[in-house]
Copies of this chain bind each other. A is one copy, B any other.
């Protein structure tokens, strides 16, 4: 086998890079669990008809077949999931009788899309989803809850600051109805183009395609221009003088969600009520979310979600839900590739136990076991090289400490441990010595993202 080359769109990480991904995933899990979200894992495959149910051919589904498949087997018709929402909705329906509702779940898994690879867009990627799903009716306070949980999760990550943009479909639809738009859904579609087209162009489309007059179009553009870091948007919308019951509900809901995360707003996290945000026209029915990473706007959205009145339905029972998805590969892979993030070392070992000669390897093993018994990751030198080589072995892996058992050529009677970063060497007891907590496990090396981006 000659040296293989990477597969475009299927990112893989080196061990020190994997430390970053593992740290991020564990941090997310911790926050989600603190809020009572249960973890599930769904199979990688779904029936093809479910994957394509919403005409999602743009998701570029990967279809599976067995190599030895005979045509009469009828085994075809399975594909890899392209998100975690389709499998979650199916899981809820399949297990509805065994689940307790409201069902809070998180899911951190890979998904696959055969789309053209580009920065932040991969064919295989990991994402972290939280959702709350209920039978029949899901109280509104869960919208506030999922925003809160994801915001706390983002604040805790060793990543650049994140911005959570929030809007409400009732608010904008009510506004468009209030101004007398004949086809509010069409207005939403056109307004959604604001990030690609200049405002004048969008105004023209509102008239030509959405059937508005110039005054109505101006009102809709005025609404879309509102973005506030607090509930200030409420007054600004009211100042536009449009009235509609749905608008009033939407304003109240959006204000509650923004208020619910306001205390987290700071260096690590911002919240913005952004009234141009439309997102996922086809199924969101209330709150909508979008996450971006400050200084990395070229990656566009790194997460998003919202409320759907029918996450799933079996014809008799409808399951409304609200959730947010965060793209782990989407954020990490570009940051790692640009050199902004790395693990503090490539191995879990905090200590390398030196070996004086192969005859006394057992003594070195015993030291390592005594350290491990107290939760200190340790490895034993691969060979009884000269001490300098063993220290360089540790250095190359980023292992901070080298342990010297007694009776060695070092001439010492007792155990000694050396911090190879500053050269400081002290006598130590393998049953008592403790490294600083910060040295115990690999960590994500902190980077000033502001300077680098």
Contact = CB atoms under 8 A, between A and B. Distances in A.
Contacts of A96: 3
Interface string A35-68: 1111111111101001011000100111111111
Given A43-B10, A67-B60, A1 B314 contact: yes
Nearest to A348: B33
Given A35-B372, A36-B348, A43-B7, A1 B67 contact: no
A164 to B, nearest CB: 18
A139 B358 CA distance: 11
Q: Name which of A1, A5, A63, A378 has the most chain B CB atoms within 10 A of its CB.
A: A1
A310 to B, nearest CB: 10
B99 A348 contact: no
Interface residues of A, number: 93
A109 to B, nearest CB: 9
A268 interface: no
A41 B11 CA distance: 10
Given A18-B41, A43-B124, A67-B79, A93 B4 contact: yes
A270 to B, nearest CB: 20
Nearest to A45: B10
A44 B44 contact: yes
A63 B60 contact: no
Contact of A114 (B6, B68, B98): B68
Given A41-B12, A110-B44, A34 B65 contact: no
A128 B383 CA distance: 27
Nearest to A95: B14
A110 B81 CA distance: 15
A214 B316 CA distance: 73
Interface of A: 1-7, 10-15, 18, 21-22, 32-45, 47, 50, 52-53, 57, 60-69, 75, 78-80, 89-91, 93-96, 98-100, 102, 104-105, 110, 112, 114, 124, 134, 139, 141-142, 145, 312-315, 346-349, 358, 361, 372, 375-380, 382-383, 396-397, 441
12 contacts: A11-B43, A13-B40, A15-B99, A21-B41, A33-B348, A43-B124, A44-B124, A52-B67, A62-B66, A62-B67, A64-B80, A66-B114
